[in-house]
Amino acid sequence: MPHQPFLAPSSAGKSMSPIDRSVLELCQCHGISRRRFLEFCTAVTATLALPSGYAQVVATALSQKKKPVLVWLEFQDCAGNTESMLRTSHPTVEDLVLESFSWEYHETIMAAYGKAAESALERVVREEKGKYIVVVEGAIPTADGGVYCTIGGRTALDIAQEVCGSAAAIIAVGACAWDGGLVRSGPNPTGALGLQGAVPGLNVVNLPGCPHNSANTAAVLVHYLTFGQMPALDPLNRPLFAYGDIIHDQCERRAHYDAGRFVEEWDDEGARKGWCLYKMGCKGPEANYNCPTVQWNGSTSWPVKAGHGCIACASPRFWDTKSPFYERLPHPAGFGVDVTVSEIGWTVVGAVAVATAAHGITSIVRDRRSSEPTANQASEKTGSKEQQSREQR
């Protein structure tokens, strides 16, 4: 994982590996206080969209020992998702959540190689059947029998079918493992597919993105450790806590969009003032991800905050459907299909505001008029009162 296994003497005088200790014990060994540990439990509870009271439940679960075995498979990929996980300058609780698992196989970071490495994977499938977790990175080629990606003389398709078919839980990280990503984009000579497309019938949790955000991966694993099951998913098998909201609705530049303040050229006054990047091709209104809230690099920033538009990297087939990435979306969200991006600005915003206000006034008048009696109703009501008065006399 991001850091070398930390071996420390146990109370019995014997060395303990990270997998023999709870996440809390690992935190203490790395100098992370219990207070920081509890802050993480609270934060991950919020990330998972759970009630605040579950923070203690999460803390209790992460204080337990004996974590599941985990294997990480890499197929047609650039290793970007592995790099996203590894690029930390200091140990965080998220790192230690991942480190606390028994990592038996990961091509990029494992010490073993060749037959020794493949033997480790075979042992997990044989001895931990139905109990281990699989993380898959990269697309799986299916053309010509899958020969375009082989590991140890076996195709990626064959390995995925065997290893994933015997797992307790499966997580596909990154766009390529989800739906083929860049590798599947046209003309796709290798017949690349995502995990679910290449091996139908698997119960997979998808964490798309290019790359995935390791904070979300840690949150999914924490949920599994705490409740013994994966979090609630959307129809695309993406966790709702991470992909349930539109980026446009979470963006810190949204107020500029609503006010009609847009960057027109790179490094213009609007760009320097942090105005909306919609006209520069930002795909935020058509993308679902929690980048604006979880962010990257230790929760310090994310692409739009740094000045680059969203490319919708967690959207289906985004390399084909969202490119060219600097081309504007055809119709701005919230302005109707008759308004184009080139027309958007103060004039349109003002017109929409006036139209909205007029609609509101019209609705109020309509509501009031509908509540007032008509002439016939008033006449009938008056006649009814006179009849009642005569009857009383």
Counting every residue written for the chain, the total comes to: 393
| pLDDT over 80 at 304, yes or no | yes
Two structure tokens written together for 365: 């008048």
Instruction: Give the pLDDT mean for 100-115.
Output: 84
**Residue 98 · residue 224 · CB < 8 Å:** no
Tell me what pLDDT residue 315 has: 95
| pLDDT over 80 at 90, yes or no | no
Q: Which of 5-19, 86-100, 114-128 has the highest mean pLDDT?
A: 114-128
pLDDT band with cut points at 50, 70 and 90 for residue 371:
very low
Using the 8-state DSSP alphabet, how is residue 240 labeled?
A: H
Of 3 and 69, more confident: 69
Of 89 and 193, more confident: 193
Q: What is the CA radius of gyration of the chain?
A: 28
Q: Which residues contact 357 (CB under 8 A, 6 or more apart)?
A: none
Of 109 and 125, more confident: 125
Q: Which percentage of the chain shows pLDDT scores above 70?
A: 75
Instruction: Give the pLDDT mean for 209-217.
Output: 91
Q: Which percentage of the chain shows pLDDT scores above 90?
A: 52
Question: Mind listing the pLDDT tens digit for each residue in 6-27?
Answer: 223 333 333 444 456 777 787 7
| pLDDT over 70 at 370, yes or no | no
Nearest to 140 by CA among 183, 108, 173: 183
Q: How far is CA 136 from CA 49, 155, 161, 233, 281, in A?
A: 25, 14, 12, 18, 31
Of 45 and 363, more confident: 45
pLDDT band with cut points at 50, 70 and 90 for residue 113:
confident
Q: Quick count: other Cβ atoms within 10 Å of Cβ 377? A: 10
Of 43 and 116, more confident: 116
Q: Quick count: other Cβ atoms within 10 Å of Cβ 106? A: 18
Tell me what pLDDT residue 373 has: 44
pLDDT band with cut points at 50, 70 and 90 for residue 299:
confident
Tell me what pLDDT residue 65 has: 63
Q: Report strand pairing: 69-74 vs 15-16.
A: unpaired
Lowest mean pLDDT among 53-67, 311-325, 338-352: 338-352
Tell me what pLDDT residue 66 has: 62
pLDDT band with cut points at 50, 70 and 90 for residue 238:
very high
| pLDDT over 80 at 356, yes or no | no
Question: Mind listing the pLDDT tens digit for each residue in 153-198?
Answer: 999 999 999 999 999 999 999 999 999 999 999 999 999 999 999 9
| Average pLDDT score over the chain | 81
Q: What DSSP letter does each residue of 306-368 carry, written as one string?
A: HT-----TTSTTHHHHS-STTSPPSS-TTS-TT--GGG-SHHHHHHHHHHHHHHHHHHHHHHH
Question: Mind listing the pLDDT tens digit for each residue in 321-352?
Answer: 999 999 988 776 666 545 565 566 554 555 44
Nearest to 47 by CA among 266, 295, 253: 295
Of 284 and 92, more confident: 284
Tell me what pLDDT residue 347 has: 47
| pLDDT over 50 at 249, yes or no | yes
pLDDT band with cut points at 50, 70 and 90 for residue 98:
low
The rounded distance, in Å, linking the Cα atoms of 78 and 286 is: 26
**Residue for token pair 């310090």:** 300
Lowest mean pLDDT among 84-93, 248-257, 316-325, 349-358: 349-358
95 by Cβ neighbours in 10 Å (0-12 / 13-18 / 19+) ranks as buried
CA angle 37–214–203, rounded 5-degree value: 110
Tell me what pLDDT residue 166 has: 95
Lowest mean pLDDT among 88-102, 175-189, 252-266, 348-362: 348-362
Tell me what pLDDT residue 353 has: 46
The rounded distance, in Å, linking the Cα atoms of 202 and 195 is: 8
Two structure tokens written together for 287: 């993308």
Tell me what pLDDT residue 11 has: 33
Instruction: Give the pLDDT mean for 41-52.
Output: 84
Omega cis (within 30) before 208: no
